[in-house]
Structure 1
Amino acid sequence: MWCFRIASNQTSHRPFCHLEEDDSFEDAFDRIPAAGNMDLQTAIQETQCALNLVLNNKFSQALDLLKPWWRDSMYHALGYSSILVMQATMTFEHRDIQTAMATIKEALHTCQSWKSVCCIGVFAGEMHAELCYAECLLQKATLTFVQDENMISFIKGGIKIRTSYQIYKDCQNVLNATQDVAGQSDSFRQFEGGVKLGIGSFNLMLSLLPQRILRLLEFIGFSGNRGFGLSQLREGASSHSLRSILCVLTLLFYHTYVSLILGTAEGNLVEAEALLEPYQQKYPKGSIILFYSARIAALRGNFEKARAKYEECVSSQQEWKQIHHLCYWELMWTHSYQQEWEQAYQYADLLCKESRWSKAIYVYQKAAILSMMSEEELKKTGENVVELFRSVEGLKQRLAGKSIPTEKFAVRKSRRYKAANPIPLVIPLLEMMYVWNGFTIVGKRADCAESLLVTIEKAEEQLRNDPNPSEFHTDDSCLVQMLKGLCLKHLGRLLQAELCFTQVLSSEGRIRYDHYLIPFTLYELGLLYKQQGDFLKATTYIENAKTNYKDYSMESRLHFRIHAALNSLKGSPAGTP
């Protein structure tokens, strides 16, 4: 077999696009090169060109560029499998997953071959092959988690992740040992960028895990440092390597999604905007770039700008409909934040019809939106809300042998409609808004928070004046009080918010079904005390939620948030949790 060559005087295959810092990535880079010998530098450059095509919405062309070499070149194999994995994880189509899995297995074989036969020295060839192998293993683990419905697959995925993690650690050791010798050659910079992406991502991911999970992982060799992970990703993002944009996308995902769903919503939007800005110049119509531009606008409370960007993202390409579905989800929520229920319904309906991610959640959310409408608005849709809720349980799916927590939540809530005379849910869409931490976003807009407060207080009054309270009355009242407290907190009415939260806690013994309300309220009250500067009290309430409650809806999600909140309280004036 032939061997990769990195020496500058070996130019039998001239790179078809020379990428410098100030390249504008125009269509000149979109043509497929003639066949010839493939060296390492050219392989990296062609994979970079394929990545540029993806960022310019030319997904099929990117695959066409990589396909001739994907069984022979480790970087072509990595790029080719990455695109197919991205597609499979967005579609959840069995056929797409199978195709991506077969491609990854071939890519792993290609990388393994290069580890075995490389003849140009340990650093340049073998370690690049190790790096690509680790990335492919991570991809395979991702697909293993979603491919089969049993715990064996879950364990297999975990083993692949552990192997990948160990390879990255070995690569980091090599990087540290060869830094002075290797200098700043392009091959070294590319290797360094890959190590920073892997080590940074692992440290950031592991730092998010609750202590009870992290203790188990530390026993088998995992550890995570968030500050170190973020610093590695930031260095990788500024390195002008093949993986720079991947570091950027990882940081953007952390700041705009992970910190909100699994943390305390303290993502750094200033940094996110700074990271995105140069790519907005290079890929002004790129759907991925437009999507994150829209997401940042939404998190700043500029829902009008966000919707315009999401709509632009949808119209920017028609090849990958999955990106449309991500936009529909976000458009549904931006309309919901402003209680524009008819528009929100349109996007919820599109998701039900087109996306395969979670039919149970989509149908539940559609039914929840319809529940918020007036009788006149509901009549125009022609939908039967009761039948929609009743259908949710039959749509539940299992991933890695487990149900999706939010699906389980939706199924449990929708069971109220199984009875011949169902007891309607109270403001169910606002409850789901809380599940996805949407009140943190609404809190950026006082007008929206005030409007939601009016809706919540109407529900509160209806419950107070109900002549025949149902078995769900206390649960519904506690839900309303918790959501009211959140609105009041974001409006700066902290004492009133505290009263709402304590009212929920005083009803603990009378809650029959929605037991999640107590630990979540303890957590929210802890955050309220943190906002007021009472860090000791904040820690006490959050620790109470962590230690004294179990087996409730979305328990793991709350433990992620608790972990983030306690970390943010460490070193604060009142002591350390």
Structure 2
Amino acid sequence: MAGPDPPQQQQVEEKAEPIDDAELAFQGINMLLNNGFKESDELFRRYRTQSPLMSFGASFVSFLNAMMTFEEEKMQMASDDLRTTEKLCESDNAGVIETIRNKIKKSMDSQRSGVEVVDRLQRQIIVADCQVYLAVLCFVKQELSAYIKGGWILRKAWKMFNKCYSDISQLQEACLRQSSEPEGPLASDQANHNASPTDCGGRVTEEVLDRLKGSVSFGYGLFHLCISMVPPHLLKIVNLLGFPGDRHQGLASLAYASESKDMKAPLATLALLWYHTVVQPFFALDGSDSHAGLLEAKAILQKKAMVYPNSSLFIFFRGRVQRLECQINSALASFQDALEFASDQREIQHVCLYEIGWCSMIEMSFEDAYRSFERLKNESRWSQCYYAYLTGVCQGASGDLEGANAVFRDVQKLFKRKNNQIEQFAMKRAERLKKITLTRELCILGVVEVLYLWKALPNCSSSKLQLMNQVLQGLDDQSSLGLKHLLLGAIQKCLGNIKDGIQSFQMAAQDEYGRLNNSYVQPYSYYELGCVLLAKPETLSKGRSLLLQAKENYTGYDFENRLHVRIHSALASIKEVVPH
């Protein structure tokens, strides 16, 4: 995280102090993951101007804070810190962006050592990593212009990763060849005669190259996962089709990085947990199975339990696994534990509170839910508008309609980001609920709706799903008829009542009256119908047709990009089962 520059005298003293920045950076990241946020931040800030690796560590702490809160202020701070790290890496006279091949050629001079080769490779990897993080900061805004900007940044990063990955691999091969060649004067003369830009010379060791390979594999893997999250139709806009996101390659690279001795090994572990417990179920990246990847996540958590026994982040991900396994009470206990261990870290406290709110909605414990969201509304600076809407629907669902109405009136005042689709959705819903006679049932409809849109209905128990079904069946609001049938269909699908689910989805797809209030209902209904029909070979063709209909016949509705990612994943699953 950015901080004031230390006094000049202190800088001179620290420059005279030799440091093993690779080892120091690894220690700093481990501090971070064992709840030593303050100590980690101080360590990285102390050396951030003296080592590109330590500067990167400081910027990563800033980036992590931004990603946990999504607050505009922290996202801007992270962006500034990442660009500062980039400048430090490029401060060398020759410029780190110059091709690695030319730089390694220079290292053949007897005056230069392999250490310089490693330093320049390390700098290039860090610059590429910074580019990926800057792209992620763009993507989380979920805006068209941000997607395009993030896409161009990723394109630059991709070229740098490819170059570094290739050069490091060639250096590793050269080292392997040299270690297997016979020793002696003749062999030495032959090696010098055959020297190439990627010869393993000077003081470049296999151990150092393995660490660099782990370092580049982290960004390379994260890059692939980022690309796989971008809506396919936007990939065409930013001309990224030449760089397709391969999720399997991304996961393999992150797994390699997580076992390396690089400072980013623990971060690669966190990235894998984030993917398996947050991204994969949310975007339905393996069809409709929200449990895909849970075995991998559980194995990672078990393996790292001794290293990070009380880490609030690892306990948080344990709670995510438990939530996805529908062990809601256990998940709540884990999030409460993580909340306590993160007593000095407001950002982690907020993500824990958010999950506690969601688990409470899943359990239909509406009073507990609205108290969590109310605290977030008052404390968080990310999206008070969104938290206010969640507070209102949960408060109304608990029976406090007067309190809910008061909160809905606040939503308009807290609406700040006009291009943010989540805030747009929250404001439109709050405005509508203010204009009609509010009932507890309508608020429960609002809760079930967000559970559906955020892919949380599969986490609900059968008894809670039956209770939701009962409430919605008794709802008689014509303007919400299509939404009601969409949600009923999703509930029936979760309960395994496929025939009833199909019937409800069909009724939702035919609803024209409520289209103005709920513009996303029809395309989402066709998507749901398509996914159900994909499950049987005899209806696979019809299912594919409905998915394409949802993709091509509708535009300008709420959460359009989100649905496009899910449709793309569903269509890709057909190609894996029935290759063309």
TM-score range, shorter chain: 0.7 to 0.9
Does the 8 A contact of 2:480 with 2:514 survive in 1? no
Identify the residue that residue 282 of structure 2 maps to in structure 1: 261
DSSP-derived class of the 2:243 partner: coil
Residues 160 and 488 (structure 1), Cα distance of their counterparts in 2 relative to 1, 3 Å cut: closer
Amino acid aligned to 2:564: H
Deviation at 1:328, TM superposition (A): 0.9
Identify the residue that residue 425 of structure 2 maps to in structure 1: 409
Amino acid aligned to 2:568: H
DSSP-derived class of the 2:519 partner: coil
Does the 8 A contact of 1:71 with 1:106 survive in 2? no
Q: Deviation per CA, 1:484-509, whole angstroms, max 9, x where unpaired?
A: 11111111111111111112223236
Deviation at 1:101, TM superposition (A): 4.4
Does the 8 A contact of 1:478 with 1:504 survive in 2? yes
Residues 427 and 518 (structure 1), Cα distance of their counterparts in 2 relative to 1, 3 Å cut: same
Corresponding residue to 2:122 among 118, 128, 132? 128
DSSP-derived class of the 2:90 partner: helix
TM-score, normalised to structure 1, is 0.82
Deviation at 1:63, TM superposition (A): 2.0
Residues 142 and 498 (structure 1), Cα distance of their counterparts in 2 relative to 1, 3 Å cut: closer
Identify the residue that residue 480 of structure 2 maps to in structure 1: 476
Does the 8 A contact of 2:151 with 2:238 survive in 1? no
Identify the residue that residue 409 of structure 2 maps to in structure 1: 390
Q: Does 1:76 align with 2:70?
A: no
Does the 8 A contact of 2:505 with 2:529 survive in 1? yes
CA distance in 1, matches of 2:486, 2:74: 42
Corresponding residue to 2:393 among 358, 368, 371? 368
Deviation at 1:566, TM superposition (A): 1.0
Amino acid aligned to 2:425: F
Q: Does 1:177 align with 2:198?
A: no
Does the 8 A contact of 2:353 with 2:376 survive in 1? yes
CA distance in 2, matches of 1:250, 1:95: 23
CA distance in 2, matches of 1:339, 1:498: 25
Q: Deviation per CA, 1:225-277, whole angstroms, max 9, x where unpaired?
A: 22222222222223343222222211211111112222243641000111222
Of stretches 221-230 and 337-346 in structure 1, the one that deviates more from structure 2 is: 221-230
DSSP-derived class of the 1:281 partner: coil
CA distance in 2, matches of 1:98, 1:482: 38
Deviation at 1:311, TM superposition (A): 0.3
Amino acid aligned to 1:247: A
Identify the residue that residue 436 of structure 1 maps to in structure 2: 454
Q: Does 1:447 align with 2:472?
A: no
Does the 8 A contact of 2:31 with 2:40 survive in 1? yes
Of stretches 134-143 and 104-113 in structure 1, the one that deviates more from structure 2 is: 134-143
CA distance in 1, matches of 2:221, 2:47: 29
Deviation at 1:73, TM superposition (A): 0.8
Corresponding residue to 1:238 among 249, 256, 259? 259
Return 5+ residue gaps in structure 1 as ranges. 1-32, 464-472
Mapping of residues 456-475 of structure 1, within 5 Å:
456-459=472-475, 463=476, 473-475=477-479
Deviation at 1:362, TM superposition (A): 0.4
CA distance in 2, matches of 1:316, 1:387: 34
Does the 8 A contact of 1:390 with 1:417 survive in 2? no
CA distance in 2, matches of 1:478, 1:63: 50
Mapping of residues 553-568 of structure 1, within 5 Å:
553-568=558-573
Residues 451 and 392 (structure 1), Cα distance of their counterparts in 2 relative to 1, 3 Å cut: same
CA distance in 1, matches of 2:91, 2:71: 30
Residues 394 and 182 (structure 1), Cα distance of their counterparts in 2 relative to 1, 3 Å cut: farther
Amino acid aligned to 1:387: A
Identify the residue that residue 381 of structure 2 maps to in structure 1: 356
Deviation at 1:142, TM superposition (A): 4.8
Residues 543 and 51 (structure 1), Cα distance of their counterparts in 2 relative to 1, 3 Å cut: same
CA distance in 2, matches of 1:530, 1:282: 43
Identify the residue that residue 100 of structure 2 maps to in structure 1: none
Deviation at 1:418, TM superposition (A): 4.7
CA distance in 2, matches of 1:296, 1:538: 30
Deviation at 1:127, TM superposition (A): 0.6
Does the 8 A contact of 2:72 with 2:382 survive in 1? no
Residues 486 and 78 (structure 1), Cα distance of their counterparts in 2 relative to 1, 3 Å cut: same
Q: Deviation per CA, 1:502-546, whole angstroms, max 9, x where unpaired?
A: 122232366342121111011111121223453222212111101
Identify the residue that residue 248 of structure 2 maps to in structure 1: 227
Q: Deviation per CA, 1:128-148, whole angstroms, max 9, x where unpaired?
A: 11111222233345557789x
Amino acid aligned to 1:503: M
Corresponding residue to 2:364 among 339, 346, 351? 339
Amino acid aligned to 2:527: Y
CA distance in 2, matches of 1:98, 1:338: 36
Deviation at 1:198, TM superposition (A): 1.4
Does the 8 A contact of 1:97 with 1:143 survive in 2? yes
CA distance in 1, matches of 2:224, 2:436: 52
Does the 8 A contact of 1:535 with 1:572 survive in 2? no
Deviation at 1:90, TM superposition (A): 3.5
CA distance in 1, matches of 2:350, 2:294: 24
Of stretches 331-340 and 389-398 in structure 1, the one that deviates more from structure 2 is: 389-398
Residues 219 and 87 (structure 1), Cα distance of their counterparts in 2 relative to 1, 3 Å cut: closer
Deviation at 1:287, TM superposition (A): 0.7
Corresponding residue to 1:138 among 132, 155, 179? 132
Mapping of residues 20-59 of structure 1, within 5 Å:
36-38=16-18, 42-59=20-37
Residues 150 and 252 (structure 1), Cα distance of their counterparts in 2 relative to 1, 3 Å cut: closer
Corresponding residue to 2:224 among 180, 191, 203? 203
Does the 8 A contact of 1:237 with 1:246 survive in 2? yes
Residues 253 and 112 (structure 1), Cα distance of their counterparts in 2 relative to 1, 3 Å cut: same
Identify the residue that residue 86 of structure 2 maps to in structure 1: 108
CA distance in 2, matches of 1:68, 1:408: 42
CA distance in 1, matches of 2:67, 2:231: 25
Does the 8 A contact of 1:115 with 1:126 survive in 2? no
Residues 231 and 356 (structure 1), Cα distance of their counterparts in 2 relative to 1, 3 Å cut: same
Q: Deviation per CA, 1:49-99, whole angstroms, max 9, x where unpaired?
A: 001110111111112222332111111111111112222444456664565
Does the 8 A contact of 2:527 with 2:547 survive in 1? yes
Amino acid aligned to 2:314: I
Deviation at 1:300, TM superposition (A): 0.4
Aligned residues: 516
Does the 8 A contact of 1:44 with 1:242 survive in 2? yes
CA distance in 2, matches of 1:269, 1:115: 48
CA distance in 2, matches of 1:194, 1:541: 43
Q: Does 1:188 align with 2:209?
A: yes
Amino acid aligned to 1:479: L
Amino acid aligned to 1:137: Q
Corresponding residue to 2:505 among 487, 501, 506? 501
DSSP-derived class of the 1:339 partner: coil
Identify the residue that residue 302 of structure 1 maps to in structure 2: 327
Corresponding residue to 1:85 among 49, 55, 63? 63
Residues 409 and 58 (structure 1), Cα distance of their counterparts in 2 relative to 1, 3 Å cut: same
Identify the residue that residue 39 of structure 2 maps to in structure 1: 61
Of stretches 322-331 and 473-482 in structure 1, the one that deviates more from structure 2 is: 473-482
Identify the residue that residue 469 of structure 1 maps to in structure 2: none
Does the 8 A contact of 2:277 with 2:320 survive in 1? yes
Q: Deviation per CA, 1:320-368, whole angstroms, max 9, x where unpaired?
A: 1111111111111111111111111211111111111111110001111
Deviation at 1:150, TM superposition (A): 11
Return 5+ residue gaps in structure 2 as ranges. 1-12, 96-102, 104-111, 177-204
Identify the residue that residue 109 of structure 2 maps to in structure 1: none
Identify the residue that residue 304 of structure 2 maps to in structure 1: 279
Of all paired residues, the percent bearing the same amino acid is 26
Does the 8 A contact of 2:69 with 2:351 survive in 1? no
Amino acid aligned to 1:524: E
